[in-house]
Amino acid sequence: MRIKQLLIGMTASVIAVSSYVEMAIADLKFPMLVYRTGAYAPNGIPNADGFVDYYKMINARDGGIGGEKILHPECETGYKTQVGVECYEKNKKDAMVFQPMSTGITYQLIPKATSDGVTIYSTGYGRTSAANGKVFKWVFNAPVTYWDGASIAVRHILKQNLGNIRSKKIALVYHNSAYGKEPIRTLETLAKKHGYKLMLLPVDHPGQEQKATWLKIRKARPDYVLMWGWGVMNQVAIKSAASIKFPMENFIGIWWSGSENDVLPAGQGAHGYKSLTFNAPGTDYQVHKDIKKYVHDKGEASGDGSHFGTVLYNRGLFQAMVQVEAATVAQKIHGTSKITPAMYRDGFENINLSAKRLEELGFKNFAPPFKITCENHGGSGLAAVQQWDAKSKKWNMITEYMYGDSDVVQKLIAEDSSKYATEQKIAERCK
């Protein structure tokens, strides 16, 4: 009897599985690789919420992009490369763009997506030399790269020291992975140029264990600490810095190490911590009003809706906006609303987010304007410094948006991308 029931159950499930037919995709598909679980979830969740809310708002307010609804299936990666590959393979059919939200997965997907003809948009992360559109046809990393970021941080330090940092010591606390290692070469090159001493302090995944790192900092007393961290590593680093009484205003994180989740656990100790950013925090923008009206007030907020207006949520909005804008541009260029992945890439390459266009989209003063061309997939290269005010629990922008050291960065990008081009036998485009 039991076996019979089991057999019936199995047959039923087999029928159910085989009768499953993939949904016909008539809309524009923007698959999302998210991580709402694991060591990187504290940062993954607000970012993913920003994406989803923006897509939902566009679907509700404008009825999609040029009349085509946005489909945004989520695939949970847990920040794991192997799962990322599975998610990519599962969703790549007719996909417009992938936003891996992980430098490791980005590296993994660059050759695959190039061969499949799918756009990869790694907003301010991933492979820095992908900014060279001549080599990386399908990859975009606008508006700013890690190497810009490293040189902007050094520029900020230079400004504070009136241009002379010859006797200074700068430490880099970094996630011991491809992501964290990205800025090292730039910082080394800049060290030669400006004469500061560089100290490298790796932190292993997931970043809980940093006692030795901060003991070293306590002993060596560097004048500045830069950080390339992500997930739980950020919180631990900021807490540790506070506990050894490191002057917080000399502690500068990359744009992935500067969200509310990172500083709040350290309480008052985090006061004065700085980070780079390429978008503004807060909720005073038209886009937030629209999201409130079309999504949140209808009770359709992604997640619990509590991340509205935080740094990473806003960054998600920005990233989603660029991806949607690429589709709009593509529709304009090709004169059809039903665009293919290849048309979408053309759209991406012709994005021109001027101040006026940003205002139309509801992003006035939200981020500096930028433009993507065939040669330049890296955007403007502008970022600003923001500082945490632990008393009012707010991030404040303390500088204008500034450029990095483009002489150094451009040279490094050209070197690295030409190395990749010879390895992979890619001929340069855009002549």
Partner 1 sequence: MIYKETGQYKSSYKSDHAIFPLLQDKIAFSTLMFIAFLIVPLVINSYWEKAILVPFLIFSLAAIGLNILTGYCGQVSLGTGGFMAVGAFSTYKIMTSFPDMNIMIIILISGLITAAVGILFGLPSLRIKGFYLAVATLASQFFLVWLFNKVPWFYNYSDTGQITVSERTMFNIPVTGADAPPYATYLFCLVLVVTLSFAAKNLIRSKMGRSWMAIRDMDIAAEIIGVPPLKTKLSAFAISSFYIGVAGALYFAVFLGAIEVTESFDIMTISFPVLFMIIIGGLGSMLGSFLGAAFIVTLPIGLKFLMVDMVGLSAVTAKHFEITIWGLLMIVFLIVEPHGLARLWSIAKEKLRRWPFPY
Positions that interact with partner 1 (CB under 8 A): 16-17, 20, 34, 36-37, 74-76, 78, 80-83, 85-86, 89-90, 92, 104, 107-108, 110-112, 114-115, 176-178, 181-182, 184-185, 204-205, 416, 423-424
| Contact of 79 with 39, CB cutoff 8 Å | yes
Question: Which residue, 95 or 390, has its beta carbon nearer to partner 1?
Answer: 95
Nearest distance from C-beta of residue 151 to partner 1, angstroms: 15
| Least distance CB 343 / partner 1 (angstroms) | 22
Give the residue with the Cβ less far from partner 1, 78 or 305.
78
From the CB of 72, what's the least distance to partner 1, in Å?
11
What's the gap between Cα 384 and its chain centre? 16
Closer residue to partner 1 (CB): 72 or 274:
72
Strands 197-203 and 169-175: what pairing? parallel
Q: Do the Cβ atoms of 113 and 130 come closer than 8 Å?
A: no
Q: Select 115 or 392, whichever has its Cβ closest to partner 1.
A: 115
Q: Provide the minimum distance between the beta carbon of 426 and partner 1 in the complex, in angstroms, as a whole number.
A: 12
DSSP annotation string for 89-123: HHH-TTB-EEB--SHHHHHHHHHHHHHHT-EEE-T
> Do the beta carbons of residue 429 and residue 137 sit within 8 Å?
yes
CB of 180 to partner 1, least distance (A): 9
Q: How far is the CB of 358 from partner 1 (least distance, A)?
A: 31
Both tokens assigned to 49: 């919420």
Residue 71 near residue 28, CB atoms below 8 Å:
yes
Element (H, E) at 261: helix 260-263
- By the 10 Å C-beta count (0-12 exposed, 13-18 middle, 19+ buried), 343 is classed as buried
Smaller CB distance to partner 1: residue 230 or 395? Answer: 230
Torsion of CA 62, 68, 69, 71, to 10 degrees: -140
The phi-psi region of residue 170 (left if phi > 0; otherwise alpha if psi is between -120 and 50; otherwise beta) is: beta
| Nearest residue (CB) to partner 1, 62 versus 116 | 116
Least Å from the CB of residue 90 to partner 1: 6
Question: How many angstroms separate the CA atoms of 183 and 394, rounded?
Answer: 27
Report helix, strand or coil for 311.
helix
Closer residue to partner 1, CB minimum distance, 107 or 403:
107
Our CB check for partner 1 shows the closer of 111 and 267 to be: 111
SS3 of 195, please? Answer: coil
Measured CA to CA, the distance from residue 29 to residue 68 in angstroms comes to: 10
CB of 109 to partner 1, least distance (A): 9
Residue with smaller CB distance to partner 1, 86 or 428: 86
User: Of the two residues 112 and 197, which places its CB atom closer to partner 1 in the complex?
Assistant: 112
**Angle between helices 81-91 and 103-116 in degrees, nearest 10:** 30
Contact 145, 408 (CB under 8 A): no
The least distance separating partner 1 from the CB of residue 179, rounded to whole angstroms, comes to 8
Q: What is the dihedral of CA 157, 158, 164, 169, to 10 degrees?
A: 30
Q: How far is the CB of 344 from partner 1 (least distance, A)?
A: 20
Q: Are 271 and 389 in contact (CB under 8 A)?
A: yes
Give the helix/strand (H/E) hosting 394.
Answer: strand 394-397
Q: List the one residue out of 82, 48, 51, 37 whose CA is nearest residue 232.
A: 37
Residue 349 CB, nearest approach to partner 1 (Å): 21
Cβ-based nearer residue to partner 1, 111 or 195: 111
